Amino acid sequence: MLKRILTDPKSVMLAVAAGFAIGLFAKPIGTALYPIGSIYIAFLSMCLLPILITAIVNGIAGLLRDENTRPLFKPMAGLYVLGLILPCVVGIGSALLLAPGIGLGPEAEQSIGALILESPAAPKADGGILAFLAQIIPTNPFEALSANQVMGIVFLSVCLGLALGLIDGKTANPALEFFKAIYDAFMQLFRWAILLLAPGLLMFISGLVAEIDANVLLALTKFVLTFYIGGVVLLVAYMLLFWLAVRGPIIQTLSKLSNPNVLAFMTNNPVVALPATLETLERDYGVDPRVPELVIPFGIFANQHGAVFLLSFLTVFLAQIYVIDLGFQDFAVIAIGSIVAGATAVGGGAVLIPTVAPVLGVVGIPISLALVVLATTDNIIGPVRTVLTLQSNVTLTVMTARRGREMPREPGLAADAQMQETT
């Protein structure tokens, strides 16, 4: 009973609201609670990096070693890479068009200006885009792990997954069993930690808000609203791509996706929506079960379009706040960094800081304001990020199935018939 109450989305939302209230109206209490909340966030971060590494290694290696799914690797990889460009383009484009960091009003600019004075913009990192790309390849894997260099760790994990998927099974199987055991162990730790999500967020947010002027929170209203607008545009694009893959009457076809998407939005957790997503794809769209059972779980950890959209949108927003003139090379860094780091980002809010820090550093933006924005808005924008990730992987699933000719024809399913005609 207690477990159900603690993990209920309404309890989490209530805890977040209580954290804001304590931080705004009882600042000494919020300040006292913050160290405990920080310890909780640190424990979550400890669990998430091993989960990220092992999920990528096991996902790629498992795909290549299974005779049934190996033929899908090429179409899935191609669609995967091309698909990650879309949330990045929409994130940068919507931030430029909607300009959430420009014209905030006198009070908002004064509040955020105080934060900027505390952490002024830093000089841009030397070397430009080539130096940034060089950071992705870790010269010392152990140093990358110890320094929490997320992009280097992702690159290392992908390479390791490819190698273990292609070498002889006698030597690879023990290693994959080891990675699977590590994944299961840290997932169990994460499940235990999630039981304390509500009180942990209450303490962390209350302390964070206690240090922030109330006008800063109001100033971020434009950021949240424009993020939602850009997110809706991106979601519509995914649904149109999905419909082009399955065809059929557009309203009837897309309405079947409402259950998993609503579940993901309400819980802010794509894993919770996983069973409903698999059932919908297999039952309502006739997708071969092998495809969604491979693509969706892997994509939740390693194809996070919602995080790519957030990081690209956030970086341009912060550049507008700091009045940094972004050139072509800067946008290239933002795009590549958001794709590499965002696709495999784990967690949300303040936990994303190590992920976005390298991109901000190259552009010359300090991480302090990014921490404020992510920590104070995550519980509002997080559901959008989650739905975008889920829907992008649903779309990737049907497009992979279509190209891999894995979609069976079932009488009465116009979507499947169209797929067969197309392939």
**pLDDT tens digits for 99-150?**
988 876 656 655 666 556 555 555 565 555 666 667 678 888 888 887 777 7
- Report which DSSP code applies to 122: P
Which domains are assigned to the chain? 2-422 (1.10.3860)
Q: Is 421 exposed, middle or buried (0-12, 13-18, 19+ CB in 10 A)?
A: exposed
| Other beta carbons less than 10 A from residue 62's beta carbon | 18
| Other beta carbons less than 10 A from residue 110's beta carbon | 14
* pTM of the shown model: 0.71
| Separation between Cα atoms, residue 210 and residue 42, nearest integer Å | 20
* CA-CA-CA-CA dihedral for 320, 321, 326, 330, to nearest 10: -110
Helix (H) or strand (E) holding 139: none
> Rounded to the nearest 5 degrees, what angle is found at the Cα of 390, between the Cα atoms of 69 and 176?
40
With residues binned 3-state (H G I as helix, E B as strand, rest as coil), the percentages for the chain, rounded to 5, are: 80, 0, 20
pLDDT bin (cut points 50, 70, 90) of residue 421 is very low
- Residues 26-45: tens digit of each pLDDT: 989 999 998 998 898 788 77
Which residues, at least 6 apart from 414, have a Cβ–Cβ distance to it below 8 Å?
247, 248, 249
Give residue 236's pLDDT.
Answer: 94
Give residue 248's pLDDT.
Answer: 79
Which residues, at least 6 apart from 415, have a Cβ–Cβ distance to it below 8 Å?
246, 247, 248, 253, 285, 286
Share of the chain above pLDDT 70, in %: 81
Which of 140-154, 167-181, 284-298, 344-358 has the largest mean confidence?
Answer: 167-181
| Separation between Cα atoms, residue 63 and residue 72, nearest integer Å | 8
Looking at per-residue pLDDT, the higher value among 351 and 63 belongs to: 63
> Stretch 188-216: mean pLDDT, rounded?
79
> Stretch 357-366: mean pLDDT, rounded?
80
pLDDT-wise least confident of 242-246, 263-267, 386-390, 412-416: 412-416
pLDDT bin (cut points 50, 70, 90) of residue 416 is very low
Q: Which two tokens stand for residue 210?
A: 């206690």
Give residue 112's pLDDT.
Answer: 65
Give residue 389's pLDDT.
Answer: 92
Residue 416 gets the label, from left (phi > 0), alpha (psi -120 to 50) or beta, of: alpha
**Does residue 422 have a pLDDT over 70?**
no
> Stretch 258-280: mean pLDDT, rounded?
75
What backbone phi and psi angles, to 5 degrees, belong to 167?
Answer: -85, 175
| Separation between Cα atoms, residue 158 and residue 54, nearest integer Å | 10
Q: Which two tokens stand for residue 168?
A: 């002889």
First and final C-alpha spacing in the chain: 50
pLDDT bin (cut points 50, 70, 90) of residue 278 is confident
- Residues 231-260: tens digit of each pLDDT: 999 999 999 999 998 887 888 878 888 878
**Does residue 57 have a pLDDT over 60?**
yes
Q: Which string of DSSP letters, residue by residue, matches 230-282? A: HHHHHHHHHHHHHHHHH-S-HHHHHHTTHHHHHHHHHHT-TTTTHHHHHHHHH
| Other beta carbons less than 10 A from residue 107's beta carbon | 13
Give residue 109's pLDDT.
Answer: 59
| Separation between Cα atoms, residue 302 and residue 304, nearest integer Å | 6
Share of the chain above pLDDT 90, in %: 20
Looking at per-residue pLDDT, the higher value among 342 and 92 belongs to: 92
Task: Tell me if residue 167 falls in helix, strand or coil.
Answer: coil
| Separation between Cα atoms, residue 111 and residue 215, nearest integer Å | 6
128-136 helix and 328-343 helix, angle to the nearest 10 degrees: 10
Helix (H) or strand (E) holding 151: helix 150-166
**Does residue 409 have a pLDDT over 50?**
no
Amino acid of residue 173: N
Give residue 35's pLDDT.
Answer: 92
